[in-house]
């Protein structure tokens, strides 16, 4: 971990295409000089507690939530997500 770089926690969906997009966002942020963390590969309760929460609570200056469009809400012109 580089203390000179601002750290960004990236939160996103878990579908394969969403993971790929999150990875590309991570790479873009790193090119801009940020240190980025994507939690999609931490799936066990232990890893969530010990890794994800640690990053989120103690090692992050910024939080980026990527909200992907989901299914259309029945009878409305809106989408979930």
pTM (2 d.p.): 0.70
Provide the Cα torsion 57, 63, 69, 70; round to 10°.
Answer: 0
Which pLDDT score, from 0 to 100, does residue 41 have?
Answer: 63
Q: Which pLDDT score is estimated for 2? A: 58
Rounded Cα–Cα distance for residues 54 and 7 (Å): 13
Region label for 75, one of left (φ > 0), alpha (ψ between -120 and 50) or beta (otherwise): left
What mean pLDDT is predicted for residues 12-32?
89
From residue 77, alpha-carbon distances to 28, 33, 41, 68, 71 in Å are 32, 39, 33, 16, 11
Q: How far is CA 63 from the centre of its chain?
A: 8
């Amino acid at each position: 971990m580089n203390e000179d770089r601002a750290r960004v926690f990236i939160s996103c969906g878990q579908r394969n295409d969403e993971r790929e997009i999150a990875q590309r966002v991570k790479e873009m942020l790193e090119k801009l000089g940020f240190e980025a963390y994507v939690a999609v590969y931490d799936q066990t309760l232990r890893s969530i507690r010990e890794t994800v929460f640690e990053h989120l609570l103690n090692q992050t200056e910024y939080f980026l939530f990527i909200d992907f469009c989901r299914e259309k809400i029945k009878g409305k012109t809106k989408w979930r997500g």
